[in-house]
Amino acid sequence: MVANSGKILIVEDEFLVALQLEDILADGGHAVVGTVPDMASLGMLGDVPDVALVDLNLRDGLTGPAIARDLSGRYGVRVIYVTANPGQIDTPAPTAIGVVQKPFTRQAILAAISYALAGCPDSARPQELEPLQLRT
């Protein structure tokens, strides 16, 4: 792994998207600690990640937001939502730092991960990482 590398969890039920994310992360020097396609699979998580890339609509429905809140609450995992539907995030995880819109680019994913691992300095937010827009 390279400097500023991290342990990343992928929360995604579409196999090809998860595989694409794994390739991007591995090429970027990060370790993928697992892929979670639904809420039940979260119980099989062996290694606590530094960052989770979380889709919203998974194999068992709109469970991504609950998974994000669980990872945040139990482990303090920084959350980056990776979704085409950011409006479906009702209550973001306390450690959520933003949204990367699908379809995403390699640059967007790696920039968001680097930002999260650097401690999220305000001056360094990548343009591809949209701030969370809360519903009121």
Which CATH entry fits the domain spanning 7-124: 3.40.50.300, 3.40.50.2300, 2.60.40.3140, 3.30.499.10?
A: 3.40.50.2300
> What beta strand segments (E) does the chain contain?
7-11, 31-36, 51-54, 78-83, 96-101
Burial environment of residue 47 by CB neighbours within 10 A (0 to 12, 13 to 18, 19 or more): exposed
Half-sphere exposure of 24 (CA within 13 A, CB side): 21
pLDDT digits (tens, 9 = 90+) for 99-115: 999 999 999 999 999 99
**Alpha carbon distance 37, 39 (integer Å):** 7
The separation between CA 58 and the C-alpha centre of its own chain, rounded to angstroms, equals: 13
Question: Which tokens go with 79?
Answer: 């959350």
pTM for the model: 0.93
For residue 44, is pLDDT > 80?
A: yes
Quick: pLDDT tens for 81-97. Answer: 999 999 999 889 999 99
User: Residue ranges per domain, the chain?
Assistant: 7-124
User: Is residue 134 scored above 90 in pLDDT?
Assistant: no
